[in-house]
Amino acid sequence: MGITTTVRRRLGKYEIPAAELYRSVFIDLDSLTTTLLSLGRPGRILEIGCGDGAVAERLVGALPDAEYVGIDVMAAPGRLFRGDRARAEFRSVYSHDLRAEGPALFDLVLVVDVLHHVPPAQREALLRDAEALLAPGGTLIVKEWERRSDLAHLMAYTADRYLSGDRNVDFGDRAELLTTISCALPELSVVCEARVPPNRSNILFALRRART
């Protein structure tokens, strides 16, 4: 458990606003949600690495007919989710285990700020799990923090390595991310590349699976 998680749990009713403020230094999740909705209106959503449920809360709120599944290897994923629990399911499970269950496929699969926490040798396997869970015509989102030579990146690296407690965090630049994606997902086409405010290090790739 990282320092951030330990401290946050001691904040009681102030934990959610504190978490939102901390997160907003690096990414505007409302802008991310707007970008995701511009790509379609999915009926079934899977988020691999859902964390405490911040993205889930926004998507479930914006899509009243959607069903959401969030998975994470952390304990109690979705712990801070305040949306409709009847349409959101959170599970502590690996992506390959969910894939082995053979669930109904998803129209939208999200991998948001996850890859830099995954050992490089395992990233392609995780992305292939995501592809296997994607329905025909569905969209796969890979959003990452791009390695750059600036103060913002130093802050992000410090936060992930020392505050969140991941001593093996490993960021890539745009070219490295694209190489990982293209090697893992040769059958998918990149249909959108975007930057998410407030920092250009937030890079997003949207890939689409053919309908047939």
Domains in the chain, start-ordered, CATH in brackets?
A: 3-208 (3.40.50.150)
* pLDDT given for residue 49 in this prediction: 98
Higher-pLDDT residue of 9 and 49 is 49
Q: Is the pLDDT of residue 161 over 70?
A: yes
Are 25 and 197 spatial neighbours (Cβ–Cβ below 8 Å)?
no
* pLDDT given for residue 84 in this prediction: 96
Tell me the mean pLDDT in the region 65-81: 95
Tell me the mean pLDDT in the region 93-112: 98
Q: Is the pLDDT of residue 1 over 50?
A: no
Burial 140-153 (b: 16+ CB within 10 A, else e): bbbbbbbbbeeebb
Could you give the CA distance from residue 155 to residue 40 in angstroms, rounded to a whole number? Answer: 33
Phi, psi for 190 (deg, rounded to 5) = -75, 120
Tell me the mean pLDDT in the region 96-125: 97
- 116-159 tens-digit pLDDT: 999 999 999 999 999 999 999 999 999 999 999 999 999 999 98
Q: Is the pLDDT of residue 4 over 70?
A: no
Higher-pLDDT residue of 5 and 120 is 120
* pLDDT given for residue 15 in this prediction: 82
Say if residue 128 is exposed, middle or buried (CB neighbours under 10 Å; 0-12, 13-18, 19+): middle
Are 89 and 65 spatial neighbours (Cβ–Cβ below 8 Å)?
no
* pLDDT given for residue 2 in this prediction: 45
Could you give the CA distance from residue 177 to residue 147 in angstroms, rounded to a whole number? Answer: 10
Residue 3: pLDDT band by 50, 70, 90 thresholds? very low
Averaged pLDDT score across all residues of the chain: 93
Higher-pLDDT residue of 57 and 7 is 57
* pLDDT given for residue 101 in this prediction: 98
Can you give the pTM of this predicted structure? 0.93
Q: Is the pLDDT of residue 5 over 90?
A: no
Higher-pLDDT residue of 212 and 206 is 206
